[in-house]
Amino acid sequence: MSNIISITDVIEQKVRKQKELDEYEVRLDDLRRKKFWVEKEIKMAEFIIAAVQHEISPQAFINGLIKAELEVKDE
């Protein structure tokens, strides 16, 4: 058994790990997009529930949606 580390082996391992990292980055970006849309759906459902509970008019409902969207962009 040899204790010598081949630079070629180290380079190959680095290339494999970089490829693995790149694949994780793609998955992470996809998950972030999915998370964004799921959060939007949850906020929409919460807003609809509140509108029904408080019998909000259609115009107030639309104004509330616009306001909520603008508040999210300001964060």
**Which residue would you say has higher pLDDT here, 4 or 23?**
23
Confidence of residue 3 (pLDDT cuts 50, 70, 90): low
Kindly report, residue by residue over 12-43, the tens digit of the pLDDT: 999 999 999 999 999 999 999 999 999 999 98
Q: Where are the domains of the chain?
A: 7-74
Buried b (16+ CB within 10 A) or exposed e, 5-40: eeeeeeeeeeeeeeeeeeeeeeeeeeeeeeeeeeee
Q: pTM here? A: 0.62
Q: Which of 44 and 1 is assigned the larger pLDDT?
A: 44
How many residues can be counted in the chain?
A: 75
Q: Higher-confidence residue: 24 or 44?
A: 24
Judge whether residue 10 has pLDDT over 80: yes
CA-to-CA distance for 27 and 14, rounded, in angstroms? Answer: 20
